[in-house]
Every structure is written in C-alpha cells, then in structure tokens.
Structure 1
C-alpha cells in the first residue's frame, strides 16, 4: 500500500501540479497587490475620480465595475505568467524527453581539457619509444 502511494507521489505530474499550485498562489498575491494598488485606482480615475468612481448605484446598491475589471486583469496576468514561466518550459522538457533528446553536453572544464592533453601526450610518447 505504501509502495503504491510512493509511486503515485513520485510521478512527475503530481510534483508538477504541487509546484504549479504553490507558485500560482504566491504569484496571485503579487498580481492582486499590483492590480488593487495601481490598476483599480487608475480605472477609478478614468471613471471620474470621485469617491464612488468605478461604480454605479441602483436603488442605493453599489455595483463595483472597477473591482470586476481589476479581478479580470489579475486573472489574466496570473494565467499568462504561469503559462510562460511554468507550463511552457515543462511542456518543452516533456517533449524533449519524449523524443529522447538530451541537452547538449557542456564543454569540459579547462583542467579536464589540460589533463586530457597531457594523457594523450604521454600515450603518444610511449608509442614512440616502442
């Protein structure tokens, strides 16, 4: 029973989902602060800049259309950021894994390259002696 749970948790999809939820929650807080602090006041200024700008009243009931536009903008910014920062890179990685491609190996470090040259020189020197 525990082995099945371990297999389930160690699947890539579950871990990716958990990371996405955590990043999404953190980024949503940032976007909400941005839209509430800057965009909503800008929308209210465009609506007249009065105390109830960005709203309308019907029978003393206030409809906050600036708040609704603010929430839509926050959603779009969060969705765009998550797509470009999490989903798109993960899809490219999954596609690369599916094709069996590995990323290009990095060039060897300078000390490894020098040691390889020394080794090759020693081998060549031994062959000349024989």
Structure 2
C-alpha cells in the first residue's frame, strides 16, 4: 500500500494532474473567447458564424462538410490564441531571464563540442584551447 501512496504523491503525477485541470480550464476560456469575439468577426466577413448546416448531396448521400469546416476554423482560432497569448509571451519571458545568466560552456574551436568556459583542453578531442577568461596568444 505504501508503494501505491508513493506513486500517487510523486511529483510528476501531481504536476500532470494540475496541468490537466489548468488545461481544461484554459480550453474553456479559449472556447468562450472564440465564441464571444472571433465567431462574430467571422460572421462579419463570411456572413454567418456557424457553418455546421452546410452540406452537399451526391447520388442521395449527404456530405455535411460544414461540421468539419466549423471544427477546422475553431481549431485554427484555438491554435492562434494559444500561440499568441501563451507560447509567444512565455518564450520572450524565458529569453529575457536567460540573457542575464552567464555562460558556463563554450564551443571547442577544433571539434565544435561544448566544453566548460575555463577549460584549457577539450575533453572530446584533447586539443589545447585558451580559456575564455584569458586573451588568446597570437
């Protein structure tokens, strides 16, 4: 029983559960944003906000392509909202935070492997390199 308890309280499982709940709430938020703002904009351009009634009949068989069209538009809107309001700001924030960090590794001029900044010899190709803190001797 203690193994099961450890499994349930492990960090990864708890983080996954929290991410799922937050993701579900965010999906509702994006859906409501699309319904409240984007769908009316589509209606201004295309004439109607809901295309689920669109269908074509071929030899007596109905193909309701409007359902797919509406889902595709909703997907594109959701992807755009997530990208522009979550991914892009998060990426910019991470870049800003990483700019202030000092580099701990650099590239070996001989084999292009990553080596510590203060290294005097490459651990991969064993070439002698000038530490980044010193000026190279010509």
The alignment's TM-score, normalised by the length of structure 1, stands at 0.48
Of the two, which has the highest radius of gyration? 1
